[in-house]
Chains A and B, each alone.
Chain A
């Protein structure tokens, strides 16, 4: 069974630029999560999708972050414009309802 795929693995941008991350969850997993992991901290939820609907985006900085999950499969997370404090690893996870979350390898973003 293929795992959660994320791309790119690494991204370096300058502040005020835009960036987008892509996630392909495990086939059949209806629930998809995006977490932000700042260096030295545990992951923090940004947004949760159930199929193509948003369940929880209370911690998403909506003035600069956006996310979508078209057709209830792949998802993209966008930051526009990026700030220095957005430097982090962005983790995507997916799960079947009521079961374990499987994490992708993450995208490491560096904002200069």
Chain B
């Protein structure tokens, strides 16, 4: 069985500040890990994913995440927040590329001017 825990249902940062959204996972098999972003009244958009290989993954809009097996973590970061980053962010895990995603409860990111 797989599960995802996202620490903090709401994170607020100032524009230009570091963004750090935390994600810990549990998986009985080597995980595939994902971060999705959801804007109001829209579907989910993939930010980045880890399958195998390099543990530091770069995604769209300046986001990146690092897979740390020893810590079972896949935290999402961005050096400088922009107002347009305000959205809901979901971390997800799957057993392979063709199996359903198991999502965390999400973290709402607010960016303050």
**In terms of DSSP, what is the predominant structure of the interface of chain B?**
loop
Residues 92-108 of A at the B interface (beta carbon under 8 Å): 93, 95, 97-106, 108
Residues 81-113 of B at the A interface (beta carbon under 8 Å): 90, 92, 96-98, 100-106
Distance in Å: Cβ of B80 to nearest Cβ of chain A: 26
Distance in Å: Cβ of A5 to nearest Cβ of chain B: 11
In this complex, how many residues of chain A approach chain B with their Cβ under 8 Å: the count is 26
Q: B106 contacts which chain A residues (CB < 8 A)?
A: 40-42
Distance in Å: Cβ of B5 to nearest Cβ of chain A: 11
Contact A106 B97 (CB under 8 A): no
Contact B101 A45 (CB under 8 A): yes
Smallest CB gap from B43: residue in A: A103
In this complex, how many residues of chain B approach chain A with their Cβ under 8 Å: the count is 22
Contact B42 A43 (CB under 8 A): no
Residues 37-84 of A at the B interface (beta carbon under 8 Å): 40-45, 48, 56
Query: With the chains together, A49 CA to B9 CA distance in Å?
Result: 31
Q: Check A19 for interface membership: any CB of B closer than 8 A.
A: no
Contact B43 A42 (CB under 8 A): no
Taking each of A43, A44, A99, A100, which has the highest tally of chain B beta carbons within 10 Å of its own beta carbon? A43
Q: Check A31 for interface membership: any CB of B closer than 8 A.
A: yes
Q: Check B41 for interface membership: any CB of A closer than 8 A.
A: yes
Contact B90 A42 (CB under 8 A): yes
Smallest CB gap from A92: residue in B: B43
Q: Check B45 for interface membership: any CB of A closer than 8 A.
A: yes
Query: With the chains together, A91 CA to B94 CA distance in Å?
Result: 17
Q: Check B46 for interface membership: any CB of A closer than 8 A.
A: yes
The 3 closest A-B pairs by CB, nearest first: A42-B103, A98-B97, A103-B43
Can you identify 25 A-B contacts, CB atoms within 8 angstroms? A31-B98, A33-B100, A35-B101, A40-B105, A41-B105, A42-B90, A42-B104, A42-B105, A43-B44, A44-B103, A56-B100, A91-B43, A93-B44, A97-B97, A98-B96, A98-B97, A98-B98, A100-B49, A101-B46, A103-B43, A103-B45, A105-B43, A106-B42, A106-B43, A108-B41
